[in-house]
Amino acid sequence: MRVLITAGPTREYLDDVRYLTNASSGKMGYALAQAAREAGWDVTLVTGPVEVAPPAGCRIVPVLTTAEMLAAATSAFKDCEGVIATAAVCDYQPRERVAGKISKTGSPITLEMIETDDVLAALGRVKGRRWVMGFALEAQNPRENALQKLRRKNCNWIVLNGPAAVGADENDVELLDPVGEIQGQWTGAKLSIARNLIAWIDRHHPKST
């Protein structure tokens, strides 16, 4: 099995020294990469900046911005049978990046923000016979919002987790299919959950050939 895994946060720069990001640690994505390698899969890991050592044997593609992640993921996906998208990409970026450093003026400043490209949706649009597993971190109406994301982004399945997962070593997830059925539910260490998810995909993934 050849799989693409996206992990970690992205950054969107306001100027040359300041950026928007989020608290994603990359631990879930890296755990999935390790579990996939243990299962004998060929893994390409497209990763934002994290402080986690990558699993041995993976093809590592480091990125910073959402645009870089989109380009790297799109390129890698061409040679893969599926993708597990755990990356927590920035949803917005400044319309214009300021050259140098924004200086204090003693007055408020206004920054105009625009949406970034949607990496998961872009992969879903071109998946063909490949499979796509997304991740949804939801706090309000979690299952409903996760299912909307699954359908909007053309995923085969979506993994629902909550805000407590950010930066933690453990997680609590539900695996949902397009009709909202729970295909799996796991709680515990992220590596243990990753192994369960990889084993589930091995049993259920639609063949790409």
SS3 160: strand
159, 134 Cβ separation under 8 angstroms: yes
Which tokens hold the place of 99?
Answer: 């050259």
Q: What is the pLDDT of residue 50?
A: 97
Which residue from 92, 111, 83 is spatially nearest to 3, judged by alpha carbons? Answer: 83
CA distances from 98 to 12, 92, 116 (A): 12, 16, 17
Interval 28-54 mean pLDDT:
97
Q: Name the architecture of domain 2-100+110-204.
A: 3-Layer(aba) Sandwich (3.40)
Evaluate if residue 150 carries a pLDDT over 80. Answer: yes
Q: What is the pLDDT of residue 139?
A: 85
**Residues recognised as catalytic:** 22
pLDDT digit string (tens) for 93-119? 999 999 999 999 899 989 999 999 999
Q: What is the pLDDT of residue 200?
A: 97
Evaluate if residue 208 carries a pLDDT over 80. Answer: no
Give the type of residue at 152. Answer: R
d(CA 162, CA 83): 21
Interval 33-48 mean pLDDT:
98
pLDDT digit string (tens) for 174-204? 999 999 999 999 999 999 999 999 999 999 8
Interval 12-40 mean pLDDT:
96
Phi/psi of residue 28, each to 5°?
-70, -45
Quickly list DSSP for 36-82.
HHHTT-EEEEEE-S-SSPPPTT-EEEE--SHHHHHHHHHHHHTT-SE
Angle of the 27-38 helix axis to the 190-204 helix axis, nearest 10? 50
Interval 8-13 mean pLDDT:
98
Interval 124-147 mean pLDDT:
95
Evaluate if residue 23 carries a pLDDT over 70. Answer: yes
Evaluate if residue 138 carries a pLDDT over 80. Answer: yes
Give the type of residue at 98. Answer: V
Q: What is the pLDDT of residue 205?
A: 74
User: Which carries the bigger pLDDT value, residue 29 or residue 204?
Assistant: 29
pLDDT digit string (tens) for 45-90? 999 999 999 999 999 999 999 999 999 999 999 999 999 999 999 9
d(CA 46, CA 59): 8
Calculate ∠ Cα 24-26-30, nearest 5°. Answer: 165
Domain residue limits, the chain: 2-100+110-204
Evaluate if residue 209 carries a pLDDT over 70. Answer: no
SS3 133: strand
d(CA 18, CA 14): 6
Which residue from 119, 128, 183, 121 is spatially nearest to 148, judged by alpha carbons? Answer: 121
